[in-house]
Amino acid sequence: MFEHQKGTRNKVGWCEAFPANFPESAALSLRTSVSKIPISSRMETIQRLGMALTQGREEDVLCDTLGQSLLAAYFHESQISERERHTPRSIHRARRYLEENFAKELTVSQLADLLALTPQHLVSSFRKHIGITPVRYVWQIRAAHGRQLLLHSDLPVMEIAERCGYKNPYHFSRQIRLHFGRSPTELRLREGYGISTVENAREA
């Protein structure tokens, strides 16, 4: 089902496939999933590939595979949409605030005050709908951002720690090892960046 804003021009395309390999449990979940979700960039890309192959008269098996991939993507994202639909607005706001301000010093009490909630209600509701507490959510965001900077910049570890909201490099290193199983230096050397590589490139 498509819904379009009145007065706008739209281009509509589709993919179709026979989900013969879907288990009955997945088919049942699809029947009970939300019927309307916003199309994501992932779903749009799969759909565009399927349309291009259909126009080029490629092998049906590849088109069917893409069609089933699109169906699987819809299934996955409809489940996410269903969870989002039942998440209170205050928790959406809390999560968005933490994602935008993860490097700042912020206590649960301060966040609760911003949302006009009690700290106890914030923590219990956040854990219920997001799966972890607000504090652990911030730890995850900081560690993920730190990993990105380690792998895709030549910033010193101390500066990365500061940018990610850690009080000192030791705490940063401990959290990186906790989340990714390696120290910041090991992460850089084994997962593709490495300061020496950058230095050699600059010298060349």
171, pLDDT greater than 70: yes
Q: Is the pTM of this model over 0.75?
A: no
Contact between 27 and 76 under an 8 Å Cβ cutoff? The reply is no
Contact between 10 and 4 under an 8 Å Cβ cutoff? The reply is yes
The DSSP symbol for 40 reads: P
Q: Which amino acid is at 71?
A: L
Rounded Cα gap, residues 46 and 36, in angstroms: 18
- What are the residues whose beta carbons fall under 8 Å from the beta carbon of 192, sequence distance 6 or more? 151
Q: Which CATH number applies to 88-204?
A: 1.10.10.60
Q: Mean pLDDT in the chain?
A: 77
Q: What's the pLDDT tens digit per position in 69-107?
A: 776 777 666 555 445 557 888 999 999 999 999 999 989
Tokens for 43? Answer: 């779903």
Mean pLDDT, to the nearest integer, of 150-163? 94
Mean pLDDT, to the nearest integer, of 45-65? 67
Q: Which amino acid is at 172?
A: F
Indicate the pLDDT class of residue 1, thresholds 50, 70 and 90.
Answer: very low
